[in-house]
């Protein structure tokens, strides 16, 4: 069933009806960045409305992503609500007598893992304690803008929501687009911002298979038959997928649903790949979780995995019905792929047996048939804002005078295209394997400037954009993880509250006043111990 039509079994759910609402700060999108923005603003004394288009609150944090990517960062630089969120989850487990294999007090590179329902419980507690109103199933239909200022937003049910300052925390940048702020999507050419990692990228070994059928046409799951110029950009986004919570424990295991239909011909390219490489690994990445569970993820190093390469290209620009169709297409693909991987004789028997033991979790996502309600939107629109983060801001020019966060996840992009090179090979394109500091698991630490979340002054003066922030595809490939978004979102909420209280345009908010409040809420702004030349692998 669709995530958009199921009730959220939580106190946060709101009835679908036309209403008028008003607050100092309006946050659109209850992603982790949105939750942190809303709580941060409320802790500054602002009245806050958190508005969510679906019935699921918490984005991927409560929607299946249960392996914190902060293990590839400088954890000591992740303060504020990110740190509090994980401390609260650890306390939740401790209170129930569950010993986790890590301590949040130790800022090392251990894998911080948790179950989705625990993340949801912690999210709900943070929102409830902040005493804000959370509106669900309020799908944006438009924004009223006067003299470069958002006056109100409207939703498809006829509701009107007014505010002093707005935060677009959606993965897609929906409010930003509705307000007329300029944006881009896809990948820049190599020369546009002088980025060596821009353009077409081919780090994966080509598969020694034909990507064409007997009539010379591309097989299903092949997106292109031409490489194109290596230095050119395009409108492709990196692959989307679900983050499924799975288990092999019989008492908690729910069998995978049968796909609505199954066409084995759809997986001919995958079949040829396994026949060409009998030692190929399992197609899904599996991360162990508490509760004898696994977080199943698209494998960045896998040739075929949980995501549909090219499947997310129209998501951001689609309307509500279009997104429902794309969401369903991803679920159908995942179910068909599971069926193929567990039944087709081309797949090595040990891999078939390993995956066949896994099922959905009886104690996760019960209102949704135990399936994650959240599609993992790794990359959407990106604002053309007051300051554009580029490759150099991540790797070399890492110090900024208006820091609102310190991020350090490696530049890391999943596949964007899958190209058939005639009958000789198939190659996945667009992958950027993690660009880490040599000898470590982390990327270079860099300061995110406040200007990167503000539109240009002439476009909108009361909107902040922490998730679809101003960055090239290459730079976004580092920013695009929840530890970064939560930290930036928290700062955006504090800035929104300050702008609402003082009446300042967000672009003219005094940084001294903002940084004082950020530090008061335990944000980390300085990375002086990590400044200097670093060697990136």
pLDDT digit string, tens, across residues 324-363: 999 999 999 999 999 999 999 999 999 999 999 999 999 9
Average pLDDT in the 87-114 region? 97
Q: Which residue has the higher pLDDT, 8 or 219?
A: 219
C-beta separation of 398 from 533 below 8 A: no
CA-CA distance, 24 to 498, in Å (whole number)? 10
State whether the Cα torsion 243-245-247-253 is positive or negative: negative
CA-CA distance, 407 to 525, in Å (whole number)? 10
Backbone angles phi, psi at 428, to 5 degrees: -80, 135
pLDDT score of 6: 34
- CA 135, 140, 143: angle at the middle one, nearest 5? 115
pLDDT score of 61: 96
Average pLDDT in the 41-69 region? 96
Helix (H, G, I), strand (E, B) or coil at 89: helix
The share of the chain scoring above pLDDT 70, in percent, equals 96
Q: What is each CA distance from 59 to 137, 172, 243, 377, in whole angstroms?
A: 14, 12, 11, 10
pLDDT score of 533: 65
Kind and range of the H or E run holding 520: helix 511-520
- Residue 509 pLDDT > 80: yes
Sequence-distant (≥ 6) Cβ neighbours of residue 205 within 8 angstroms? none
Instruction: Show the tokens assigned to 142.
Output: 């438009």
Average pLDDT in the 286-303 region? 97
Q: What is the DSSP letter of 471?
A: B
Q: Which residue has the higher pLDDT, 139 or 7?
A: 139
C-beta separation of 171 from 374 below 8 A: no
Mean pLDDT for the chain overall: 95
CA-CA distance, 522 to 529, in Å (whole number)? 18
Residues in a beta bridge with 375 = 242
pLDDT tens for residues 518-527?
999 999 999 7
C-beta separation of 314 from 322 below 8 A: yes
CA-CA distance, 444 to 478, in Å (whole number)? 10
CA-CA distance, 487 to 484, in Å (whole number)? 5
Segments in 49-159 forming alpha helices (H): 80-95, 116-129
CA-CA distance, 164 to 463, in Å (whole number)? 9
pLDDT band at 444 (very low <50, low <70, confident <90, very high): very high
Q: Which domains does the chain have, with CATH numbers?
A: 20-185+452-526 (3.50.50.60), 241-376 (no CATH)
CA-CA distance, 377 to 314, in Å (whole number)? 12
pLDDT score of 68: 84
The burial of 317, by beta-carbon neighbours within 10 Å (0-12 exposed, 13-18 middle, 19 or more buried), is given as middle
Average pLDDT in the 44-71 region? 96
pLDDT score of 537: 77
Q: Provide the 10 A C-beta neighbour count for residue 259.
A: 17
Q: What is the DSSP letter of 72?
A: G
pLDDT score of 18: 72
CA-CA distance, 169 to 381, in Å (whole number)? 12
Could you tell me whether strands 20-28 and 160-168 are parallel, antiparallel, or unpaired per DSSP bridges? parallel
pLDDT score of 16: 52
Backbone angles phi, psi at 479, to 5 degrees: -70, -20
CA-CA distance, 332 to 338, in Å (whole number)? 10
State whether the Cα torsion 63-68-72-78 is positive or negative: positive
Q: Strands (DSSP E) along 290-381, which ranges?
A: 293-298, 359-361, 375-376
Rg (CA), the chain: 22
- Residue 9 pLDDT > 50: no
CA-CA distance, 358 to 370, in Å (whole number)? 13
Average pLDDT in the 413-429 region? 97
- Residue 17 pLDDT > 70: no
């Amino acid at each position: 069933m669709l995530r958009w039509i199921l009730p959220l079994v939580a106190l946060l759910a709101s009835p679908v009806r036309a209403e008028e609402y008003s607050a100092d700060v309006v946050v659109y999108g209850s992603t982790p960045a949105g939750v942190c923005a809303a709580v941060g603003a409320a802790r500054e004394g602002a009245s806050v409305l958190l508005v969510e288009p679906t019935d699921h609150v918490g984005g991927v944090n409560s929607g299946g992503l249960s392996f914190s990517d902060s293990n590839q960062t400088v954890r000591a630089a992740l303060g504020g609500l990110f740190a509090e969120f994980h401390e609260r989850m650890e306390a939740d487990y401790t209170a129930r007598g569950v010993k986790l294999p890590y301590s949040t007090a130790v800022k090392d590179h251990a894998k911080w893992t948790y179950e989705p329902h625990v993340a949801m419980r912690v999210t709900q507690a943070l929102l409830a304690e902040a005493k804000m109103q959370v509106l669900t199933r309020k799908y944006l239909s438009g924004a009223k803008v006067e003299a470069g200022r958002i006056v109100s937003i409207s939703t498809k049910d006829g509701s009107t929501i007014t505010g002093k300052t707005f935060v677009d925390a959606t993965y897609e940048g929906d409010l930003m687009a509705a307000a007329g702020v300029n944006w881009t999507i896809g990948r820049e050419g190599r020369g546009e911002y002088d980025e060596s990692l821009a353009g077409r990228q081919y780090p994966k070994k080509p598969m020694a298979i034909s990507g064409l059928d007997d009539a010379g046409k591309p097989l299903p799951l092949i997106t292109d038959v031409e490489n194109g110029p290596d230095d050119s950009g395009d409108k492709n986004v990196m692959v989307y997928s679900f983050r499924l919570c799975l288990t092999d424990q019989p008492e908690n295991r729910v069998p995978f649903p049968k796909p609505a239909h199954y066409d084995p011909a759809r997986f001919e390219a995958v079949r040829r790949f396994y026949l060409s490489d009998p030692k190929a690994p399992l197609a899904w990445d599996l991360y162990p979780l508490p509760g004898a569970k696994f977080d199943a993820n698209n494998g960045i190093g896998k040739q075929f995995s949980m995501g549909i390469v090219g499947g997310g290209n129209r998501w951001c620009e689609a309307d509500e019905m279009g997104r429902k169709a794309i969401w369903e297409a991803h679920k159908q693909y995942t179910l068909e792929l599971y069926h193929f991987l567990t039944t087709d004789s081309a797949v090595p028997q040990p891999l078939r047996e390993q995956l066949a033991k896994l099922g959905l979790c009886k104690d996760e996502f019960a209102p949704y048939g135990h399936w994650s309600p959240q599609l993992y939107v790794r990359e959407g629109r990106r604002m053309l804002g007051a300051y554009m983060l580029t490759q150099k801001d991540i790797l070399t020019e890492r110090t900024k005078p208006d820091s609102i966060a310190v991020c350090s996840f490696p530049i890391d992009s999943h596949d964007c295209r899958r190209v058939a090179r005639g009958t000789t090979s198939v190659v996945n394109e667009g992958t950027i394997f993690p660009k880490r500091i040599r000898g470590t698991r982390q990327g270079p630490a860099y300061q995110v400037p406040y200007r990167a979340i503000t539109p240009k002054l002439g476009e909108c003066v009361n909107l902040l954009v922490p998730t679809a922030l101003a960055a090239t595809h290459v730079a976004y490939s580092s920013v695009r993880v929840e530890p970064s978004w939560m930290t930036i979102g928290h700062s955006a909420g504090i800035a929104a509250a300050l702008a609402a209280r003082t009446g300042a345009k967000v672009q003219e908010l005094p940084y001294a006043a903002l940084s004082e409040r950020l530090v008061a809420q335990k944000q980390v702004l300085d990375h002086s111990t990590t400044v200097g030349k670093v060697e990136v692998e």
